[in-house]
Chain A
Amino acid sequence: QKEVEQNSGPLSVPEGAIASLNCTYSDRGSQSFFWYRQYSGKSPELIMFIYSNGDKEDGRFTAQLNKASQYVSLLIRDSQPSDSATYLCAVNGRAGNQFYFGTGTSLTVIP
Chain B
Amino acid sequence: EAGVTQSPTHLIKTRGQQATLRCSPISGHTSVYWYQQALGLGLQFLLWYDEGEERNRGNFPPRFSGRQFPNYSSELNVNALELEDSALYLCASSFSGNNEQFFGPGTRLTVL
Contact = CB atoms under 8 A, between A and B. Distances in A.
Nearest to B94: A97
Interface string B34-54: 010000011111001010000
A104 B42 contact: yes
A99 B90 CA distance: 13
Given A88-B42, A103-B41, A104-B42, A97 B99 contact: yes
Q: Classify chain A: how many residues form its interface, as a range.
A: 20 to 34
A97 B43 contact: no
B58 interface: yes
Majority-rule SS of B interface residues:
strand
Contacts of B71: none
Given A43-B105, A46-B101, A98 B43 contact: no
Interface residues of B, number: 22
A68 interface: no
Interface of B: 31, 33, 35, 41-45, 48, 50, 55-56, 58, 90, 99-106
A15 B23 CA distance: 38
Nearest to A42: B105
A9 interface: no
A95 to B, nearest CB: 7
A80 interface: no
Contacts, number: 54
B100 A49 contact: yes
Contact of B99 (A36, A92, A102): A92
A49 B100 CA distance: 8
Contacts of A95: 56
A34 interface: yes
A99 B101 contact: yes
Contacts of B50: 97
B100 A100 contact: no
